[in-house]
Chain A
Amino acid sequence: MKEFFAENFPNVPRDNIETLKASEVIHQSLDLVEFVLHLEEKLGLEININTLGEKLITKTFGELADDLVAIGSGSQ
């Protein structure tokens, strides 16, 4: 996540990224999709936007990371 934001949103502070929500940083659907595709590539997962659903805009990146771990381990 940090890598994606460093590359695409250099103004976003990287130190406390886990406390931010994606909706506070990402305002265009294309960027949101790029973010999901970046996660897919780095994690080797196929992520359905509907699986994460509204969590993508209501949860913090830290909470999203927990959800991604759950998806990766097959428990979600």
Chain B
Amino acid sequence: MSRYIRAIYAPLVGLRLSNQELLKTISSWFEAIEADDAEKTALFDFVRLLLIGNRYRYNQAGAEFLLVNGFAEHAAAFSRAIEESTSAIAAEILAQPPHQAFDAVFGVSSEGLLLPGIAERTAAKLPSLIGRTAMQMDLGNGGCTASVRAIQLVQNLSAEFRNVLIVVAEPGSTLVDPKSTARSNWQGICTFGDGCAGVWISDEPGDGAVELGKLASWRGDAIELIRWDWGSDYYRFGIAELEQFEVKVRAQVLEAMNILQLEKGPDACWAIHPAGIMLLLSLAKKLGLAKADLEPSLSHFKACSNMSSASILHILKNIIVCAKPGQPIRWLSMGAGFHVACGTGIRM
């Protein structure tokens, strides 16, 4: 049976911060942090390198996110971010509600846990669209590929699930460990932005829908490459072998592409997870993609940074709006696991 992406909901949530604003905040923080002067200088130069140029991100933990202290404050920031994200997605859905109710809702996040979950909180905000007997379940710990793997899961559900909503909330700023001088911690702070998105998958086509084609995922050997480390009082973004990170990620993605056999398609529109500009450009080169194919992903990265698994949905939304009827659409995402997930579709 065919399934279709009927709508993507991609609100922007949180405080918008430029590279320059973030650098200024970090600079003030570094004056107060207790560390060896040479270590601080080197770390700040590393941060300057990561924040070169014009790029923005959204931050749901607020302007004073570097003052978050203790487990309870981190967990509360996560809870507030989920509330803000689910409200924003629900508002977009209600602005143009589907004609049929959803049979299932899946919440997706990798930054924290809370009860009741993302699915139940969304359902409570959409009582006319999500009945009490609808399946409501959260999927955790999927990293940057979680949203596209959730779509893959929904594609393979039985026919009784006719309309499914996936709600993604990735408030990376709630993981910030301001007390740590670990480089991967600061790489996370400078690379990620907070994001959320929803996607409606249906068994019926409609205006502007995308018919789902082949969806696949692959897990490589580099299981520890991206992970949550245990920080001062919460978990935080971590990387194994920081110095070899990009080379290893590239190698894993290329290995996956050989196995998954994602066809390039000469007139396809591409959504590639914006893990970073270096990775995007070098992968495109190795996969033989034109730089123009990367434009939607690069534009998203400049405007929102890496929103973990919410990013690919924001990029896909823009691509679907611009694509012509009949045009192929491709997506490729990579992240913790180490997972690579890809998919194809056709704009109806």
Contacts and interface: CB of A to CB of B under 8 A. Distances in A.
A50 B244 CA distance: 7
A12 to B, nearest CB: 17
Interface of A: 23, 26-34, 36-37, 40, 46, 48-51, 53-54, 56-58
Contact of A50 (B45, B53, B245): B245
The residue in B42, B52, B298 that gathers the most chain A C-beta atoms within 10 A of its C-beta is B52
A48 B42 contact: no
B278 A57 contact: no
B23 to A, nearest CB: 12
A74 B242 CA distance: 18
A48 B53 contact: no
A53 B52 CA distance: 13
Contacts of A50: 183, 187, 242-246
Contacts of B46: 53-54
B53 A28 contact: yes
Interface of B: 42, 45-46, 48-49, 52-55, 183, 187, 242-247, 250, 277-278, 281-282, 285, 298
The residue in A28, A29, A37, A57 that gathers the most chain B C-beta atoms within 10 A of its C-beta is A29
A34 B53 CA distance: 13
A40 B281 CA distance: 12
Contacts of A27: 52-53
Contacts of A40: 282
B245 A48 contact: yes
B274 to A, nearest CB: 12
A21 to B, nearest CB: 11
A27 B53 CA distance: 5
A57 B247 contact: no
A33 B278 contact: yes
Contacts of A46: 247, 250
A36 B278 contact: yes
Contacts of B250: 46
A54 B48 contact: yes
Contacts of B281: 30, 33-34, 37
Contact of B243 (A26, A28, A37, A51): A51
Which are the 10 A-B pairs with shortest beta-carbon distances?
Answer: A54-B45, A28-B53, A29-B53, A29-B52, A54-B46, A48-B246, A33-B277, A33-B278, A46-B247, A51-B243
A8 to B, nearest CB: 14
Nearest to B42: A54
Contacts of B243: 48, 50-51
A68 to B, nearest CB: 15
30 contacts: A23-B48, A26-B52, A27-B52, A27-B53, A28-B54, A29-B52, A29-B55, A30-B277, A32-B52, A32-B53, A33-B278, A34-B281, A36-B278, A37-B285, A46-B250, A48-B244, A48-B245, A49-B49, A49-B246, A49-B278, A50-B246, A51-B243, A51-B244, A53-B45, A54-B45, A54-B46, A56-B49, A57-B45, A57-B48, A57-B52
Given A37-B281, A50-B243, A57-B49, 4 more contacts: A30-B53, A48-B243, A48-B245, A48-B247
A58 B55 CA distance: 21
Nearest to A49: B278
A51 B55 CA distance: 23
A54 B49 contact: yes
A9 B245 CA distance: 29
Contacts of A37: 278, 281-282, 285
Contacts of A23: 48, 52
